Structure 1
Amino acid sequence: MTTAPTAPPAFEGFDETAVSRWVERLSGNTSPRRNHWKTKEIYFEAAQQVLEAVPRPALTWKNIVAAADKGCRSTFYEVAGAHARHRMVDELINDGGSDAIQIALRYLRNDPVEQLIDETKVWSFWPYRQRLLRTITTGMSAEVMAAELTAAVVKWAQHKPELAAAVGHAPPACAVEDLTLIHRGLLSGTQAATRLTALVQAHLVAH
């Protein structure tokens, strides 16, 4: 899956968020020998495969490694865990903004599998975000933009219910950050995360 944006978003602030910078920097690396994003994608796909398996095995690092193409413990811990390289949560922390820090605290996990799932959600949601950004314009009100964003999150959850439900129905972190951007200081990172978590949970319970 191609994750780098194919066109600039209509509302330019969206490509300046911490999570957007993280995705674009890593996915934009074209080096075949030192491409950490490709390694991450192997484990994103494996995690999704484990979640969607019937019957579903336990969501453990061993089962994710077993599902991964040429998976092994060492590369798993390169992409997940406290000492993993290029963690999404570190990008949020290093951003330093109040909302980014609040979002980072919501996604700061002790369990490396949960950390991997958080990043897998962003990877999985990214094509929906790309389509969303091609429709948003600066002339839209915050209410309209927020409605478009929440509709994209719901559509993603419909298509990926197992992934969406994992780790307490946490929404993709990029969607949380986008929602704070839309509201421009009137909705905190914590509030945005809570709102989208409730949205995902309510949708999945209803279906």
Structure 2
Amino acid sequence: MSSTNFEDLSTSVIGGWHERLAGNTSARRNHWQTKEVYFRSVAGLLASRPGRALTWKCVVTAALPLGRRSTFYEVAGAHARHRMIDDLIADSRPDSVAIALLYLRTDAVEQLIDETKVWSYWPFRQQLLTSVRTEEMTDQQVEHALARSLTAWARCHAKLAAALDHSPPACAVEDLTLLRRGRLAATRAASHLSDVLRRELAEPAAEGPVRALASVSATGRLDV
């Protein structure tokens, strides 16, 4: 089953969005590089000043000398270019649209935090895909690996993971819905992964490996 799961995950909408933007090698018009300036700013602010609200001004200031109000609103807000949720909406499949609606924010900074979570989690997701591609895994084992990937990321980026009420990276929500092949609503997937993050971050670091397994049922499937 691993090959089927790998094909499902490797053709995700958010995966396509990431590949299209991050794979752009143009030095002159590279929107992803601009996004990364603000992703780093958001991640750094959340880590260094927990509990304090972020505003577009503090995000831009932390991004200096490259930060500018004009470029901030190119990557965040209702009129931003290449928004992740726009690709989900354009895909038009019910699960994609449902995920887009979950992450449709009226606040530009919150939208930026959502995309920052995806950017930050991406190396962990890539490692997950490598495991799915190279190891013989059942559907349940792949879901188990997804849970461990998410909690490993949360331990490395605890403040970012906890932001926006422990909202999970949108790509993890999409991955879980793809693994369930239409048998799990996006809202339930997002709610469950939020609970996984909440439980993981509530425990001492030494118990991390245990908490990564806590949301998996006796059959190995995520309990959602």
TM-score, normalised with respect to structure 2: 0.85
| Corresponding position: 1:165 with 2:144 | no
Query: What is the CA–CA distance in structure 1 between the aligned matches of 2:71 and 2:184, rounded to whole Å?
Result: 38
Q: Tell me the SS of whatever aligns to 1:120.
A: helix
Shift of 1:55: 6.8
Equivalent of residue 26 in structure 1, options 18, 21, 27 = 21
The correspondence of residues 128-207 of structure 1 with structure 2, limited to 5 A, is: 128-137=124-133, 139-207=136-204
- The residue type paired with residue 173 of structure 1 is A
The corresponding residue for 2:110 is 114
Query: What is the CA–CA distance in structure 2 between the aligned matches of 1:144 and 1:184, rounded to whole Å?
Result: 15
Query: What is the CA–CA distance in structure 2 between the aligned matches of 1:120 and 1:12, rounded to whole Å?
Result: 25
Unaligned runs of 5+ in 1: 1-8
Task: Specify whether residues 54 and 82 from structure 1 end up closer, same or farther in structure 2 by C-alpha distance, changes over 3 A only.
Answer: closer
Alignment size in residue pairs: 200
Shift of 1:141: 2.1
- The residue type paired with residue 29 of structure 1 is N
Task: Specify whether residues 204 and 172 from structure 1 end up closer, same or farther in structure 2 by C-alpha distance, changes over 3 A only.
Answer: same
Structure 1 moving runs of 4+ over 4 Å:
54-57
Q: Higher mean Cα deviation, 180-189 or 72-81? A: 180-189
Shift of 1:198: 1.0
Q: Tell me the SS of whatever aligns to 1:78.
A: helix
Unaligned runs of 5+ in 2: 205-224
Q: Higher mean Cα deviation, 39-48 or 181-190? A: 181-190
Contact 2:50 2:159 in 1 (8 A): no
RMSD: 1.8
| Corresponding position: 1:42 with 2:37 | yes
Q: Could you say which structure has the larger radius of gyration? A: 2
Percent same amino acid among aligned pairs? Answer: 53
1:29-71: per-residue Cα shift (whole Å, max 9, x none)?
1100100000000000000111111476531111110011420
Contact 2:77 2:108 in 1 (8 A): yes
Equivalent of residue 73 in structure 1, options 69, 72, 83 = 69
Contact 1:10 1:135 in 2 (8 A): no
1:71-116: per-residue Cα shift (whole Å, max 9, x none)?
0111000000000000001111111111111111110000000000
